[in-house]
């Protein structure tokens, strides 16, 4: 039933690391999400276990217990074999507005020069692609998005900025993403998203989950200001669509 070999490794005394082949592959990501669902429902209670998926790995953390790894190693392999077909997890495509105004896109000019294409082409390419959330980490609500068109691949800045403003949209190598808070950072900044990626006022502070997809669409400075206010007041309506399994 399962097309992948997994490895199960001890990670300290409170965690177990399960790994799939070392590839950025959406089929692997889906397999991980299904395995989480299966474990959650059948074996490892959510109240005691935390599940941290990213790219080709799943880390299972049990905060209070010193884990008996000799027990869990064969068990996890057995559960993975038994998993069989699991009801696919509902995934969403989120459409997020980005203002690509040079006032926000601090590195647009430099990128345009380095990549040898106009600023408009850079932002068009960025907004035309669909990205997959391969992981969330680094900062609360920071998404690792895969699916950057090859033409937009550009190395990180040689000197990181000491403060990248919250909401900034960046490019680095094969990745793009949004800085959810003010933070130091070395990504090339191309615009700004007015929708907070981590909002404590919301019942679910972070609306995206690993496996979801993101598409950006360009907005004007005026629209940015409007959405920014709407988000602050709590009336901004997120655009989402269920993804086909």
Partner 1 sequence: MLNIIKSGFFTTVQDTGRFGFRDKGVPVAGAMDSYTVSKLNSLLENVEDCAVLEITMTGPKLEFELDTYIVTGGAEMSVTLNDLAIENYKVYKVKSGDVLSYGKLIKGFRAYLGIKDGFRTASVLGSRSFYKPITEQDCIKKMSGLPYTECKMFGPKISKLKVDSILNKGQLEVYKGPEYELLTDKQLAQIFYKEFSVANENNRMAYQFNETIEGNTFSMLTSATLPGTIQLTPAGKLIILMKDGQTTGGYPRILQLSDMAISILSQNKSGDLIHFKLK
Examine residue 11 and tell whether it contacts partner 1 (CB under 8 A). Answer: yes
**Nearest partner of 27 among 175, 242, 245, judged by Cα:** 245
Q: Which of 2, 4, 14, 83 binds partner 1 (CB under 8 A)?
A: 14
Question: Does 92 help bind partner 1 (rule: CB under 8 A)?
Answer: no
What are the C-alpha distances in Å from 57 to residues 104, 149, 224?
Answer: 34, 24, 36
Q: Of 3-11, 105-113, 186-194, 218-226, which segment contacts partner 1 by CB under 8 A? A: 3-11
Per CB under 8 A, 38 contacts partner 1? no
Told to check if 89 binds partner 1 by CB under 8 A, we report no
Q: Which of 6, 44, 53, 126 binds partner 1 (CB under 8 A)?
A: 53
How many whole angstroms separate alpha carbon 105 and alpha carbon 242?
A: 30
Shortest spacing between CB 47 and partner 1, in angstroms: 9
Under the binding rule (CB under 8 A), the answer on residue 136 touching partner 1 is yes
Does residue 4 belong to the site contacting partner 1 (CB under 8 A)?
A: no
Q: Is 142 in the site for partner 1 (CB under 8 A)?
A: yes
- Find the part of the chain contacting partner 1 (CB under 8 A) among 154-162, 205-213, 218-226, 237-245: 205-213
Q: How far is the CB of 190 from partner 1 (least distance, A)?
A: 21
State in angstroms the smallest separation of the CB of 222 from partner 1: 27
User: Strand pairing partners for 57?
Assistant: 19, 54
User: What is the CA 80 to chain-centroid distance, rounded?
Assistant: 24
C-alpha span between 226 and 178 (Å, rounded): 19
State both tokens at 78. 């057995």
Taking residue 46's Cβ as centre, other Cβ atoms within 10 Å add up to 11
Nearest CB to partner 1, comparing residues 97 and 141: 141
Alpha-helix runs per DSSP H in the chain: 26-42, 69-82, 108-115, 119-128, 221-233
Instruction: Please give the radius of gyration of the chain, using alpha carbons only, rounded to the nearest integer.
Output: 20
Give yes or no for residue 80 binding partner 1 (CB under 8 A).
no
């Amino acid at each position: 039933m399962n097309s992948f070999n997994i490895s199960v490794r001890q990670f300290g005394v409170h965690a177990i690391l399960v790994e799939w082949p070392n590839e950025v592959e959406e089929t692997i990501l889906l397999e991980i999400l299904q395995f989480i669902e299966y474990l959650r429902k059948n074996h490892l209670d959510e109240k005691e276990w935390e599940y941290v998926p990213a790219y080709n790995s799943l880390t299972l953390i049990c905060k209070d217990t010193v884990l008996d790894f000799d027990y869990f190693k064969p068990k996890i392999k057995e559960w993975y074999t038994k998993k069989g077909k699991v009801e696919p997890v509902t995934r969403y495509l989120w459409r997020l507005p980005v203002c690509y105004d040079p006032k926000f896109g601090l590195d647009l000019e430099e990128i345009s020069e380095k990549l040898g294409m106009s600023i408009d082409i850079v932002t068009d390419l960025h907004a035309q692609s669909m990205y997959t959330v391969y992981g969330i980490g680094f900062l609360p609500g920071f998404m690792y998005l895969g699916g950057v068109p090859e033409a937009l691949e550009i190395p990180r800045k040689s000197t990181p900025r000491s403060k990248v403003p919250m909401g900034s949209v960046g490019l680095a190598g094969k990745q793009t993403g949004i800085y959810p808070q003010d933070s130091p950072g070395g990504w090339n900044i191309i615009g700004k998203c007015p929708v907070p990626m981590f909002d404590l006022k919301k019942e679910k502070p972070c609306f995206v989950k690993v496996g979801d997809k993101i598409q950006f669409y360009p907005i004007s400075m005026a629209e940015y200001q409007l959405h920014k206010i709407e988000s602050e007041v709590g009336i901004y309506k997120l655009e989402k669509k269920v993804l086909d399994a």
